[in-house]
Amino acid sequence: MSTILSKEFKMRTGRILILRSAQAKDASQIIKLMKSVIAEGPLTLAEPDEYSATVSSESKKILRFKSAPGKIYLVAEVGNDIAGFLSFDNWDTRRTAHTGLFSVFLKKQWRGMGIGRILVQGMIDWGKANPLNRKISLYVFSTNKNAIALYKKLGFKIEGKFLNDMIINGKYVHSVAMCIFTKKP
């Protein structure tokens, strides 16, 4: 099973953040969070009219990730509010099951408080302990300098760039491919 033990973190504000594995009951809050992040503009691949997840489909995804040995779905919870989440999805073939991609999303009001770092570090720790995982990869817009800086601080290396990979607000944006090895190749 791909889950972690819940961990508590004291935030700078004094509030307690709980990092834990996602549960099916989180689906509604996760969908609301995604819709709010997508509505902000150029932070995600999808535009508002392209996001079609439902509570049922997200619940099924959470349960699928929980039962798969190479996937993990984490939430950062403050009080009863899911402040952010991260999902890591490995590939489903034997030759590529050791690696995959992750995405992380934070509610606007919770950004800049270290929650993204906690989520990503939680995934890295899981990857190091997980017998299947060897490599964690991501793609990030070249314009997202804060995210790139965070990933570098956490040990991710740039593997390459995909030039003019995205069109955001009518302008081309590069994608940056980054990775970290959780075990030596």
Find out whether 26 and 62 touch, Cβ atoms under 8 Å. Answer: yes
pLDDT (0 to 100) of residue 1: 62
pLDDT (0 to 100) of residue 65: 96
Domain positions in the chain are: 7-181
Q: What is the pLDDT of residues 128-143, one digit of tens each?
A: 999 999 999 999 999 9
C-alpha 85: how far from its chain's center? 6
> Which architecture does CATH list for 7-181?
3-Layer(aba) Sandwich (3.40)
Say what angle helices 145-153 and 115-129 make with each other, to 10 degrees.
40
Q: How many CA atoms lie within 13 A of 86 on its CB side?
A: 27
What pTM, to 2 d.p., does this model score? Answer: 0.95
Q: What is the pLDDT of residues 4-23, one digit of tens each?
A: 999 999 998 899 999 999 99
Residues of the chain with pLDDT under 50: none
pLDDT (0 to 100) of residue 41: 77
Distances (CA, A) of 4 to 36, 80, 127, 129: 27, 19, 11, 10
